[in-house]
Homo-oligomer: A and B are copies of this chain.
């Protein structure tokens, strides 16, 4: 097929035009540039009109890069069965997306990558495959869809632009100071901060700092797994995490039993909230969540012991519970901070719209790269030890950060 596409905005330095031409060539297509008006100065926008010839798949891809195709009504097809999509379904990106419906561009609600768009009561909504019901009107093809490709900010802050430039060799001390400022701004603007945490936060002793962040109002929702949740409780009851002494790091012989007893104590009373109410659980991260009305989602994994009554063992249900808070963060100009959590961190990253500011702190550069690679508009990856970064961040937020001596 042959069709004329248009590109608008900062299309050259945001890499949109280069990536469009790249894509056409990679996918075996041909192009002719019919018109190109380049913004002459750095604030001017540019415009490009290109005649593209090639496979339908090329056009689908160009659209995801922000190419505007001729305005047409969106097309839909009913789902043939529960959880089954019609052929030719449109798979979403995590960028803001609009659907041309009844002669009007409408924004897709709850956008998330690798899902589909349903037209529900005339409104476009993003939905994961498993929740599609028989007869739902699923968007197909590529007509009437517009994706707002992220544009390079004219001014840079600590958040990089679609970069996967990840390295341990960064001025981490300086980044912590700037991150603290950014968090203060989000809090002042009534933003919604989600923290995703892995077991290393308990093992390293950074859980005290996390509890303090919650008390200080810098956490509106917490996502974690059964492992961290049990360790948090075990630490309050026995002073150990998986049997490792919280002060010396020495593994207490027979200490793994503490882990199992911690689970049993919570099972006895029926859950974490009840354990707080009944006075069994008197401190810790989950205790602070309960006391400060911060919702938490504990998602199950195949490695779990126990699990706790609060752990959602069905992974799809756990995802949907996490989505609820991601949507809140999206509405309130939120932020998502991922601390030493490969499994839950990547799971959360998959569900985030590209517009939510994302911070990842992990020792493993692979985890940081994987999360940044998704083309997030505002992302900060710090390859460092979350177990020491978190306390330093709290010190900064308290105004007690590290300052070099004057000599």
Contact = CB atoms under 8 A, between A and B. Distances in A.
A12 to B, nearest CB: 5
A83 interface: yes
A172 to B, nearest CB: 5
Contact of A315 (B215, B244, B313): B313
Interface residues of A, number: 119
Interface stretch (A23-31, A98-106, A325-333): A23-31
Nearest to A212: B405
A121 interface: no
Identical chains in the assembly: 4
Contacts of A304: 315-316
A42 B18 contact: no
20 contacts: A12-B18, A26-B253, A33-B39, A57-B254, A60-B257, A84-B267, A85-B267, A129-B263, A171-B204, A171-B245, A173-B205, A174-B205, A174-B248, A176-B388, A211-B404, A301-B301, A302-B319, A303-B343, A315-B315, A388-B388
Interface of A: 12-13, 15, 17-18, 21-27, 30-33, 36, 38-42, 57-58, 60-61, 64, 80-81, 83-85, 89, 91, 114, 129-130, 152, 154, 156, 158, 168-176, 199-200, 203-206, 208-209, 211-212, 215, 244-250, 252-254, 256-257, 259-260, 263-264, 267-268, 299-307, 313-319, 343-344, 346-347, 350, 363, 365-366, 383-385, 387-389, 391-392, 394-395, 398, 400, 402, 404-405, 407
